[in-house]
Chains A and B, each alone.
Chain A
Amino acid sequence: MKKILLVSGCSFTDKNFTSDYHPEVDTSWPKWPELLAKKLDMDCINLGKCGAGNEYIYTSLLDQIMKMDPSDIGLIMPAWTGAGRKDWKWAGKWKNVSLRHYTRYIATNGDMDWRIERSMTYYYSLQEICKNNNWPLKQFQMLPLFRGYDWDPKREVHEDGRKDKRKKHLQTIYNNSFSNKIDDSFIGWPTEPSLGGFDIKMNVLEGFSKESYKWAVSERDNHPNARGQERIAEFLYGRL
């Protein structure tokens, strides 16, 4: 029996991803988890879900591990997303809001610095749980941890000129107690280039620049196309 590659993430990982901008496009090309599983000769459980945030990613992986025989696990891979997203579950169905709703919900859902720290709590917790149980783990940041919220990459400007926020968020990552406790199982830690890390979208798929279009569904829809998904799988395979 083959081992299992267990993956969770956002739309960049979702097996059933469809394009909001181009609903007519057939997006059933293989996604990176399925491509990588094939390379690794593993079966794939892909829990990735469009719009999902880091709470969903942590929860879905842990819940799945609890339900399966841990000796079947070949590799666990969370593809972490932006910290600004919020997930909740009602009547058995996961729901989420993206960073566009950040300002609306800040009063009762915490500011971005807290959300960054909250994400780092998930990264560290998963690392230690896997370490304690000898479950193989590779983590990485698929989308920038906070950049989409603070910085509009398409217009290449900071929203409302809030350059200070970006610096503050970088300090939040750098000064956090978990920062130097995240180990080498996290590819590209601490995720921000100015701190010596990287994320897949900005580094492997060339961000939102013109060069990125070859990896994307279209100029308007920057989700990875078939080539982009292959590139992610190859990059990750090279880092295992």
Chain B
Amino acid sequence: MRKILLVSGDSWTDKNFGSAFHPELDTSWPKWPELLAEKLDMDCVNVGKSGMGNEYIFSTLLDKIVSLDNIGLVIAGWTQCHRIDWRNYGRWFNNAWDPNKDVGNNNNDIISHINKSFRYYYSLQEICKSKKIPLKQFQMLHMFTAYVYDNKNLTISGDLKDRRRIDILKHIHNSPYFNKINDDFVGWPGDPNLDGYCIRIKLWEDPEEAKKYTISDIDKHPNAKGQEKIMKFIYEQL
């Protein structure tokens, strides 16, 4: 019996991803979890879902970890930390259409969003260790740059945004979780200034080169080639 590759993440991982910009486009190309499972000779359980945040990723992985036998590898493709997920009547919802909109309305500030994500990373690491299940974690999308630079509600100048970014990096560096996340997290802590990386920026560094791997100029999600590139990169890190 083949082992299971268990994966969760956002739209970059979603098996059923559809392009919001090009709804007519057939996006049924294989995604990196399915491609990777084939390469590893494993069965794939991919619970990734477009728009979802880190709470969804943690919860769905944990649900499967306790209910599935024969897990060979768990991979978390973490996303932006300020997305919020919830479930009503069995259906998951999120605020990914504008994650900044809710900031300040009975929700965490950016520092607390980051701390919350760190707790998920650490908790998953310790739970997998406790269950003796192999784990790899990746930051698929950058944890907070979208909050700082694409935030309509953060009405400050570019210089101040840069300063805000540096303050957040300092916070990450000084976090008590910073040194508690082990090598299972590839690219930790997800930002080049702290000697880490996220997959989106690492693989899509050159904008001209990136065009080959993305759906279009307006939809930057990975196309078929992009999914293969992600899979190959992750495979090399295992």
Residues of A that sit less than 8 Å from B by CB: 58-59, 62-63, 66-67, 86, 88-92, 95, 97, 105-111, 113-114, 117-118, 121, 124-125, 128-129, 131-133, 177-178, 181
4 closest residue pairs by CB, A with B: A110-B86, A66-B176, A132-B130, A114-B87
Q: How far is the CA of A107 from the CA of B63 in the complex (A)?
A: 23
What is the CB-to-nearest-CB distance from B49 to chain A, in angstroms, rounded to a whole number?
15
Q: How far is the CA of A63 from the CA of B130 in the complex (A)?
A: 19
Interface of A, secondary structure class, is helix
| Least CB separation from A90: chain B residue | B109
| Least CB separation from A59: chain B residue | B119
Please tell me which one of the listed residues A90, A109, A125, A133 contacts residue B104 in the complex, with CB atoms under 8 A apart: A90
A95 neighbours in B (Cβ, 8 Å):
106
Interface size on B, residues (CB 8 A): 35
B90 neighbours in A (Cβ, 8 Å):
113
What is the CB-to-nearest-CB distance from A115 to chain B, in angstroms, rounded to a whole number?
9
Q: Which of B85-124 contact A (CB under 8 A)?
A: 86-90, 93, 95, 102, 104, 106-109, 111-112, 115-116, 119, 122-123
B126 at interface by CB-CB < 8 Å: yes
Please determine whether B131 and A111 come into contact, CB atoms closer than 8 angstroms: no
Residues of B that sit less than 8 Å from A by CB: 58-59, 62-63, 66-67, 84, 86-90, 93, 95, 102, 104, 106-109, 111-112, 115-116, 119, 122-123, 126-127, 129-131, 176-177, 180
Please determine whether A90 and B112 come into contact, CB atoms closer than 8 angstroms: yes
B88 neighbours in A (Cβ, 8 Å):
106-107, 110-111, 114
Q: Which of B93, B95, B107, B115 has the most CB of A within 10 A?
A: B107
What is the CB-to-nearest-CB distance from B177 to chain A, in angstroms, rounded to a whole number?
6
Q: How far is the CA of A108 from the CA of B177 in the complex (A)?
A: 29
Q: How far is the CA of A133 from the CA of B90 in the complex (A)?
A: 34
5 inter-chain pairs at a CB distance below 8 angstroms, sorted by A residue, are: A66-B177, A88-B106, A89-B112, A108-B95, A129-B127
Beyond A95-B106, A128-B126, 5 additional pairs, beta carbon < 8 A = A67-B176, A88-B107, A118-B59, A125-B62, A177-B67
Task: Take A66-B180, A91-B109, A177-B66 as given contacts and tell me if A108 and B123 are in contact as well, using a CB distance cutoff of 8 Å.
Answer: no
Please determine whether B102 and A108 come into contact, CB atoms closer than 8 angstroms: yes
Please determine whether A178 and B180 come into contact, CB atoms closer than 8 angstroms: no
Please determine whether B176 and A63 come into contact, CB atoms closer than 8 angstroms: yes
Q: Which of B108, B111, B127 has the most CB of A within 10 A?
A: B127
What is the CB-to-nearest-CB distance from B132 to chain A, in angstroms, rounded to a whole number?
10
What is the CB-to-nearest-CB distance from A179 to chain B, in angstroms, rounded to a whole number?
10
| Least CB separation from B58: chain A residue | A121
Please determine whether A62 and B122 come into contact, CB atoms closer than 8 angstroms: yes
A107 neighbours in B (Cβ, 8 Å):
88
| Least CB separation from B105: chain A residue | A108
Q: How far is the CA of A115 from the CA of B51 in the complex (A)?
A: 20
Q: How far is the CA of A177 from the CA of B67 in the complex (A)?
A: 6
| Least CB separation from B87: chain A residue | A114
What is the CB-to-nearest-CB distance from A73 to chain B, in angstroms, rounded to a whole number?
15
Q: How far is the CA of A113 from the CA of B90 in the complex (A)?
A: 8
What is the CB-to-nearest-CB distance from B212 to chain A, in angstroms, rounded to a whole number?
39
Q: How far is the CA of A55 from the CA of B134 in the complex (A)?
A: 27
Q: How far is the CA of A117 from the CA of B89 in the complex (A)?
A: 13
Please determine whether A129 and B130 come into contact, CB atoms closer than 8 angstroms: yes
Q: How far is the CA of A36 from the CA of B127 in the complex (A)?
A: 29
What is the CB-to-nearest-CB distance from B29 to chain A, in angstroms, rounded to a whole number?
32
Please determine whether B127 and A88 come into contact, CB atoms closer than 8 angstroms: no
Task: Take A66-B176, A106-B88, A108-B95 as given contacts and tell me if A129 and B109 are in contact as well, using a CB distance cutoff of 8 Å.
Answer: no
A66 neighbours in B (Cβ, 8 Å):
122, 176-177, 180
Please tell me which one of the listed residues B59, B107, B123 contacts residue A129 in the complex, with CB atoms under 8 A apart: B123
Q: How far is the CA of A133 from the CA of B66 in the complex (A)?
A: 19
Please determine whether A177 and B63 come into contact, CB atoms closer than 8 angstroms: yes
Task: Take A108-B95, A110-B86, A114-B87 as given contacts and tell me if A89 and B108 are in contact as well, using a CB distance cutoff of 8 Å.
Answer: yes
Please determine whether A125 and B109 come into contact, CB atoms closer than 8 angstroms: no
What is the CB-to-nearest-CB distance from B23 to chain A, in angstroms, rounded to a whole number?
26
